[in-house]
Chains A and B, each alone.
Chain A
Amino acid sequence: MSTGIRRINVEEAVLDLRCRTLAGIPGELGRLIYLAATRDYNTGQYHHEGLASQFTEEVARGALALCHEEVFNRLALSSLEQLVEELDRYVVSTRERPEDLLTAWATLEPYRVAIPMDSAPLAAKLFTSNLGVAVAVLLARQAAGPDSQQSA
């Protein structure tokens, strides 16, 4: 397959992924975690059954990697306030108890494995720092009670 045709296929796969899968996930953080979860922990290779059946395994991997990088870059360059809103939206979408999820996140920092492998190291550091602060902000609001749930 020529490079040109492969590139067009990746673009089509990206469009398909955005419209059919990512559009149904609320919030950028949710999308980031979803895309990171399509990665094999041992090899770092992306895999998506539906996408691979429509296109090819290689094209599907390319599309997943591209979307993962896009979503990550948007989050890494978000303001802290926007990140807190995204985290809040994600917590609500999981339907877990907010205190439990936020305490686990503060301890384990699971968002570190959601970072794309090829991301700029500085962007990765900014993202983990900001998300750590966002978790701390939401935990503090939880501790303060329902009256302070709205941002100051």
Chain B
Amino acid sequence: MMHVFFWLFLGFLLLILLVLWSHHSFQDSPTAERLDQVQDALTTLHLAVPLRALAERIFALDDRTFVARQGSQKIHHRFLAERRKLALTWLRHTRAKVREVMQLYRVSAGRSAHLRLGVEFALATQYAVFLMVHTVLHFMIWLRGPFATRQVVGYACGLAERLVLEAGPWVVETDGSRLEPLAGDWAKS
């Protein structure tokens, strides 16, 4: 039994090392200007992920504080219910858009003769982490509401931005509109 735990622990340690390595593998941290350029390009293909500014507004504590100060239970409940719905919608939109970009990226990268193995591996790891974080976030928002999840939301936004920054230009250059039907075929196979 002990050897099972040993291998599990080793596997977990390896996973942490991979995640840390993948964080450092992307060449640059996303600058706002570079991200804006990629997002603008993706917008023309209807692939832009929801902006961080929107997430910061949805999960903003000052709004909750302001509503609580009004002294009306009815307004407070309405606000909390609507914000929870908005938070879950944001989560769904971000996940859907990143998934679309990554699907198209896989198709375009698969046809390229110039693969960057290290970056590909890092991207795959980051994407797996992104999906895990989003699942955890969904559960946290459902259980505790949006305002208890701000730090995790910030981390999820950072992950989405890095993925979009790395995979987005490939999708844009290869023309996403041509890739979309191919990505659909790939997803079905």
| Residues of A participating in the B interface, judged by any CB pair closer than 8 Å | 76-77, 79-81, 84, 120-123, 125-126, 129-130, 132-133, 136-137, 140, 151-152
Contacts and interface: CB of A to CB of B under 8 A. Distances in A.
Given A125-B89, A129-B82, 15 more contacts: A76-B57, A77-B53, A77-B54, A79-B60, A80-B63, A80-B66, A122-B50, A126-B86, A129-B86, A133-B78, A133-B79, A136-B74, A136-B78, A137-B67, A152-B70
B89 A79 contact: no
Contacts of A123: 54
B114 interface: no
Sorting the interface of chain B by its residue count into under 10, 10 to 19, 20 to 34 or 35 or more gives 20 to 34
A56 B40 CA distance: 27
Contacts of A122: 50, 54, 86, 89-90, 93
**Interface residues of chain A: helix, strand, loop or mixed (majority):** helix
B86 to A, nearest CB: 6
A152 B78 contact: no
B66 A79 contact: yes
Interface string B29-69: 00000000000000000000011011001101011001101
Most A C-beta atoms less than 10 A away, residue of B57, B75, B82, B93: B57
Nearest to B81: A129
B110 interface: no
B66 A126 contact: no
Given A126-B86, A140-B75, A133 B67 contact: yes
Contacts of B51: 120
Contacts of A120: 50-51, 54
B112 interface: no
B79 to A, nearest CB: 5
A137 B67 CA distance: 8
A99 B50 CA distance: 36
Contact of A136 (B54, B60, B75): B75
